[in-house]
Every structure is written in C-alpha cells, then in structure tokens.
C-alpha cells in the first residue's frame, strides 16, 4: 500500500473533515472528538451527498442530504431515516 502525506491531524477540525482528491475519486478524511482519524469515500451511495459536509458524532457521520448514518470505521450505512 502506498501512503501519501495529506497534512497534520491539527489541519482537520475536531468532529470535521477534509477532502482529498485521488485518481479513484474523492476521499473524506475525518477527525473525531477523541482525535481518531478515518478515511471513507466522500460520496453517499444514496444520492451522492458529500459525507465530508455531514455531522460527525462518535465514530459515525450523518449524510447532509438525507440523514443516513455511516460508520467511519467501515464506511457502511448504519441506517437512515424511515421512508427513504
């Protein structure tokens, strides 16, 4: 695996994210309130919402478009709003 330097942890606000553009697409790099860092695809599979603009809570992020919740540890949806 090739690693690239994207900056210091302090460059990402706590409970926030930054986007890194790669040849395969955009990756959202998150920092939790406890200074853990995670990277997942920046695009929500439901409507393509930018997960980097979502709300970070614990080790999850909520999509800003339709409130689906994703695990930052796995990138998988944990559930969403009923009726979607």
Torsion angle (degrees, nearest 10) of CA 66, 11, 14, 65: 0
Q: pTM for the full model?
A: 0.87
Query: Would you give per-residue pLDDT tens digits along the chain (84 residues)?
Result: 677 888 999 999 999 999 999 988 999 999 999 999 999 999 999 888 999 999 999 999 999 998 999 999 999 998 655 444
Helix, coil or strand: residue 14: coil
Q: Which residue has the tokens 């809570």?
A: 57
Q: Which domains does the chain have, with CATH numbers?
A: 12-79 (2.102.10.10)
How far is Cα 25 from Cα 10, in angstroms, rounded to an integer?
24
pLDDT of 1 reads: 67
């Amino acid at each position: 695996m090739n690693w690239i330097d994207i900056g210091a942890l302090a460059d990402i606000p706590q409970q926030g994210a930054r986007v890194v553009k790669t040849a395969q697409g955009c990756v959202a790099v998150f920092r939790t309130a406890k200074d853990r860092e995670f990277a997942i695809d920046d695009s929500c599979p439901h409507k393509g919402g930018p997960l980097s603009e979502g709300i970070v809570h614990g080790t999850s992020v909520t999509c800003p478009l339709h409130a689906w919740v994703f695990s930052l540890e796995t990138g998988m949806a944990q559930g969403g709003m009923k009726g979607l």
